[in-house]
């Protein structure tokens, strides 16, 4: 891990636990909150079968984006 950068693997792990957490860890609060609440809405849609596709898609996107974004964000970054 380069000094001043967020840990990519921790960001990905947090997004594995719940989409958006890795983005928030990386200082991208806007995107993180959007993914966090988007996934909550997806879980509600899951009962209408629409979520069968959107839940895993958003989850996977969150993990990949958190991993990639953590490498770009300097430590202590608060931008979204």
Q: Calculate the alpha carbon distances from 12 to 22, 26, 33 in Å.
A: 6, 10, 16
- Identify the pLDDT of residue 1: 44
Q: Higher pLDDT residue, 27 or 48?
A: 27
Q: Is the pTM above the cut of 0.75? A: no
In this prediction, residue 70 has a pLDDT band, given cuts at 50, 70 and 90, of confident
CA distance 80 to 76: 12
How many CB atoms are located within 10 Å of the residue 27 CB?
18
The predicted pLDDT at position 58 comes to 85
């Amino acid at each position: 891990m380069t000094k001043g950068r967020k840990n990519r693997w921790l960001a990905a792990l947090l997004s594995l636990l719940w989409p958006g957490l890795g983005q928030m860890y990386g200082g991208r609060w806007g995107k993180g909150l959007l993914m966090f609440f988007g996934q909550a809405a997806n879980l509600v849609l899951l009962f209408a079968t629409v979520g069968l596709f959107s839940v895993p898609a958003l989850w996977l996107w969150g993990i990949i984006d958190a991993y990639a974004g953590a490498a770009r964000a300097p430590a202590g970054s608060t931008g979204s």
